[in-house]
Structure 1
Amino acid sequence: MNISATAIINRIAFTIGPIMVHWYGIIIATGVLLAVILSVREGNRRGLDEENIYDYLIVGLPISIICARIYYVIFQWQYYSANPEMIYRIWDGGIAIYGGLIGAAITLIIFCKHRGISSWEFLDIVAPTVIMAQGIGRWGNFVNQEAHGVETSLAFLQNTLHLPHFIVQQMCINGIYYQPTFLYESVWDIAGFILLMVLRHRKQLFKRGEVFLTYVMWYSFGRFFIEGMRTDSLMLGPLRISQWLSFIFFFSALAIWIVRRQKFDQPWYLDQNAVKK
């Protein structure tokens, strides 16, 4: 069968009157919902009132989405300056994870300071679920046929990667097959989620803040190499901008881990009442 001739997945999941509901939004919302459920469960174990998670979500989610879009638009300004009416069309794709994470982290720090909560502990609670949501969210890129890699062959997708038919056909864009970098990052993110969930409750393994720092290092390490395979990101010297950020975040998190272990007496993550400052 000629895969390139088969139908690709429609970006529109369904319509309600004049309203078109996109798969991209459904997938992102699913990741966020699961992240909130798991974060609330862990927060209850750690003595964090679930209302704090809900209240942060009300503020942090829209800010992170706005920051993710602003970041994307800035680095694709040549296109958006010529097509300003497309700037707000976030449902067509085009949000940058790093922009969203930066916006969400800054908002969280301010929120925790206002509530008298340890921002490190809050970050430890939500970090595994955030990377899980990122892994789920990459499937929105899959539906939109974006965030893919360089050209490849049908044989590579079918016989080397042994991908199912629906992924292979979606990676055929205008008759050309592309590397499914969305899939590589999704697998890497879900693996990081599993790792953090397995290790987080090991006694005397993580100190306060180190679950979050592990998340930063894990995600940045994988993103550095996967980003190098993509074709839709901007270059800054020999590397892509997201690769530079991955490099900076990885070594910054590693340095912070080392300094905090050597210079500061931090409670263990599993210590009671560690959620307070």
Structure 2
Amino acid sequence: MYPILFSFGSIHFYSYGLMIAIGILVAYYLAEKKIKANGIDPKRLEWLVFSILAGGFAGSKILYWITRIPDIGTDPTIFTNLGDGWVVYGGIIGGLVAGWFYCQNHGMNFWKTFDMVIPEVALAQGFGRIGCFLAGCCYGVETHAWYAVVFPEESLAPAGISLFPSQLVMSAYDFGLYFFLEWFSKKKKFNGEVGAAYLIAYSFGRFVIEFFRGDMIRGVVNGLSTSQYIAIATFIAGIAIIVIGRKRFSQSNK
């Protein structure tokens, strides 16, 4: 709705960037409290977050490039435009890989750390989706329902068309997922179970919301989007972690 909040000459301050920043700061503040409560040096969190963000942004952009391979020949700016063109799943995968490498190189238990910070990742995503709504990206399909939204000319979404508010629905889902994971973290049986629950729940929500997305520039194969295929894979991975982890937990308690 408001891609540019305000400007100073040629310098623009974007609503999407602001919401991403708010999400990261709030998530970091809450994660830091957990880290301290578990007796871990907060400086470890600073570098872990930096690694995750670097890996996340890189993964998000790389996956976007992959989904746009057919269009690169006619639009080479796909490689040079850093203002938009991000895929959340690429960010999740890239962030997890970078976080795993950091934990491996600094003697940290990846699965335990994963469980501690993953609820805050869902929280940050909730703020990020509000940024998507303000910018007009990740817009929904056309609908004439009472809850439809209409974007102005300067938005990334098609202007003047009643669209499904997919960004706000996913934002609400992410915020709800944060509270669920915080609750579930108090009941987990093994390290990695909260992270697995995130993979399962987020994948389910993302798979469903994709049917209501109107920005199919990312590609559709056999009726499913790129993100839906990834959602299936991450959903299965989450189930596998739960099954293996609980089996090992049961064996260790016999």
How far 1:86 moved relative to its partner? 4.6
| Counterpart for residue 42 of structure 1 | 34
1:18 deviates by 3.4
Question: Which SS does the other structure have where 1:82 is aligned?
Answer: coil
Q: Secondary structure in 1 aligned to 2:99?
A: helix
Looking at structure 1, the residues matched to 73 and 215 of structure 2 have their Cα atoms a distance apart, in angstroms, of: 17
Contact 1:228–1:243 (CA under 8 A) maintained in structure 2: no
Residue in structure 1 matching 2:120, options 116, 129, 150:
129
Deviations 1:168-195 (A, max 9, x none): 3438833211111111111111111011
What SS does the aligned partner of 1:146 have?
Answer: coil
Residue 270 (structure 1) aligns with: none
State the secondary structure of the residue aligned to 1:150.
coil
Instruction: State the match for 1:5 in structure 2.
Output: none
Which residue does 2:129 correspond to in 1? 138
2:158 match: 173
Instruction: List gaps (5 residues or longer) in structure 1.
Output: 1-8, 268-277
Question: 2:6 maps to what in 1?
Answer: 14
**In structure 2, do the counterparts of structure 1 residues 24 and 88 end up closer, same or farther at CA, with 3 Å as the change threshold?**
farther
1:217 to 2:200 alignment:
yes
SS of 1:152's partner is coil
Matched letter for residue 195 of structure 1: F
Asked if 2 retains the 8 angstrom alpha-carbon contact of 1:14 and 1:21, the reply is yes
The residue type paired with residue 42 of structure 2 is: E
Distance 1:21 1:121, change over 3 A: same
Q: Which residue does the alignment assign to 2:230?
A: 245
Match of 2:86 in 1: 95
Q: How many residues are paired up?
A: 247
The share of aligned pairs that are identical, in percent, is 30
Q: What is the Cα-based RMSD across aligned positions, in Å?
A: 2.2
Contact 2:150–2:161 (Cα < 8 Å) also in 1: no
TM-score computed with the length of structure 2 as normaliser: 0.89
Instruction: Find the residue that maps to 2:214 and give its secondary structure.
Output: coil
- TM-score, normalization by structure 1: 0.82
Give the superposition deviation at 1:110: 0.6
> Does the 8 Å CA contact 2:193/2:241 hold for their aligned counterparts?
no
**Equivalent residue, structure 2, for 1:185:** 170
Aligned residue among 90, 111, 121 for 2:102: 111
- Counterpart CA distance in 2 for 1:266 and 1:250 is 25
Q: Which protein shows a greater Rg?
A: 1
- Of 213, 224, 227, 1:230 maps to 213
> Structure 1 residue runs of 4+, over 6 Å off?
none
2:246: which partner in 1? 261
Matched, 1:66 2:58: yes
Question: 1:58, 1:263 → 2: CA distance?
Answer: 32
